Amino acid sequence: MAKPHKPGGNAGKGRPKGLPNRVTRELRALAQEYTEEAVATLAEIMRDNEEPAAARMHSAETLLAYGHGKPRQQLEHIGKNGKDLMADADPARLALALKAIINATARPAERAGKPNADPAPELALGRFRA
């Protein structure tokens, strides 16, 4: 629950987090009445060779996504010629770049008084890029 703005304020009042409001619940219930018809329509469009290919493909993708879930996107984290991204990284340059990132994300009060705090960390990052 959110912290009240005033002592003895509104803590615990209102709709609990994640609980849809009355209109949302009613709209969802109404829409669910058309689920079977909507799925049948998507299947009909998908099978109709007279429909544009884009519409048929979208219907098929929608049916698959709701029936089996959307596939996860796999990302490959590799460098040039299939090598490890960090294989040729210079540890000293990485340390300096990380320090610049940390300085950039620190609050101004945390950076104040630090002799090594870089006033322009975004420029420091540019100096350490390969």
Give the pLDDT of residue 124. Answer: 47
pLDDT computed for residue 109 by the predictor: 58
Interacting residues of 2 by C-beta distance below 8 A, sequence separation 6+: 11
Q: What is the pLDDT of residue 53?
A: 94
Per-residue pLDDT tens digits of the chain, which is 130 residues long: 555 556 666 666 777 777 778 888 888 889 999 999 999 999 999 999 999 999 999 999 999 998 888 878 777 677 777 777 666 678 888 888 888 888 887 766 555 555 555 555 444 445 544 4
- Nearest CA-CA partner of 64 in 33, 42, 44, 48: 42
Tokens encoding 20: 């849809």
What pLDDT is stored for residue 39 in this prediction? 94
pLDDT for 130: 44
Would you tell me the crossing angle of helices 91-105 and 121-128 to the nearest 10 degrees? 160
Residue 58 falls in which region: left (phi positive, over 0), alpha (psi -120 to 50) or beta: alpha
Which amino acid would we find at residue 113? G
pTM more than 0.75: no
pLDDT of residue 103: 81
Q: Could you give the CA distance from residue 16 to residue 48 in angstroms, rounded to a whole number? A: 46
